[in-house]
Amino acid sequence: MNQKYFVLIGLLIFFLTASCHKRVKEDKIPVAKVLDKYLYLSDIQHIFPIKITKDDSISMAKSYISTWVKTQLILNKAELNLSPDQVEITQQIETYRSSLIIYKYEELLLKEKLDTVVSDIEIEKYFNQNAANFILDENLLKALYIKVPLKAPNIEKLKIWYKSDQREDIKKLDSYCNNYATKYDYFKDNWILFSFIQSKLPTRIENEDEYLKSNKYIEQKDNNFYYFVYIKERNSKGAISPINFVHNRIKDIIINQRKVKFLTDLETKIYNDAQDHDNFVIYNYEKK
């Protein structure tokens, strides 16, 4: 690295240190130049953490400036060799840049101003108005699922307890499963897909619709475990979904609708404000 470069780095460190005591007008202090493009001191201040040593500052500045110089040189070479067809790339980049800026602005406004609180009343109203959009394509269950080792004691009693709705039997079941079960899930209040239960069993149940019509219990085993399922409630495929199963989905739909309306209203307001202040003109370019 030549002496001129170290002078620039020294100048950089000087102004970084001086800025702690007095505001320095660093906007026009160059630290590098490639052809007619400059990199200014103000362009690289953001790369430094709040707490950094002098040696680390020099190292970071050196790396950043070197990368910037190489980038500008390659970019210049590419621009000189672009064919007319390839000029479209710059137009695509500008379109992407515009879209990205607008997206970031809209996201900022949505974060600050969009109401994301959705009441149960709103969810119920939407559900009632759009119930036909929430037809089940799978069977839903409220079920009890137990997975217990083959060597666990009192399996015959377990087979009685897990099928019972008597309070004393449920207490015995809880105590037993807490001591011996590898998995004990009681989906009493939450609907779950039957496919989820299927994934937890060693043997797949074929023709599940027919099976569920006439069976409330599933008992299977493999080389290591027993599997027990007690189906408390069932909501059949083809029926309207229970509202609590699609609660979060409806909430997302409502919030998304609010986003669309918010952004549409924003676009209209900006357009109308600009029109009122004569900030744009649309010329009649059609041939007469």
Domain chopping of the chain, boundaries: 3-83, 93-135+245-275, 136-235
Q: What is the pLDDT of residue 18?
A: 43
Confidence at 31, pLDDT banded by 50, 70, 90: confident
Residue 153: CB atoms within 10 Å: 11
Mean per-residue pLDDT for 163-183? 94
Q: What is the pLDDT of residue 81?
A: 81
Q: What is the pLDDT of residue 2?
A: 46
Q: Is 11's pLDDT higher than 60?
A: no
Neighbouring residues of 19: CB distance < 8 A, sequence distance ≥ 6: 26
Mean per-residue pLDDT for 193-210? 92
Q: What is the pLDDT of residue 125?
A: 97
Q: What is the pLDDT of residue 59?
A: 84
What pLDDT, in 10s, does the model give residues 112-132?
Answer: 999 999 999 999 999 999 999
Mean per-residue pLDDT for 194-203? 94
Q: Which candidate, 32, 17, 36, 90, places its Cα nearest to that of 63?
A: 32
Q: What is the pLDDT of residue 54?
A: 76
pTM of the model: 0.67
Residue corresponding to tokens 């109401």? 115
Is the distance from CB of 218 to CB of 227 less than 8 angstroms?
yes
Q: What is the pLDDT of residue 87?
A: 61
Q: Which fold has domain 136-235?
A: Chitinase A; domain 3 (3.10.50)
What is the residue type of 97? R
Q: What percent of the chain has pLDDT over 70?
A: 87
Q: Please state, in angstroms and as integers, the Cα–Cα distance from residue 123 to each residue in 134, 156, 167, 192, 245, following that order.
A: 13, 45, 35, 20, 12
Q: Is 284's pLDDT higher than 50?
A: yes
What is the residue type of 207? N
Confidence at 283, pLDDT banded by 50, 70, 90: low
What pLDDT, in 10s, does the model give residues 38-68?
Answer: 888 888 777 777 777 777 778 888 888 888 8
Residue corresponding to tokens 């207490």? 171
What pLDDT, in 10s, does the model give residues 223-282?
Answer: 999 999 999 999 999 999 999 999 999 999 999 999 999 999 999 999 998 888 888 776
Q: What is the pLDDT of residue 242?
A: 94
> For the CA atoms of the chain, what is the radius of gyration?
34
Q: What is the pLDDT of residue 244?
A: 92
What pLDDT, in 10s, does the model give residues 70-106?
Answer: 888 888 887 778 776 766 777 788 888 889 999 999 9
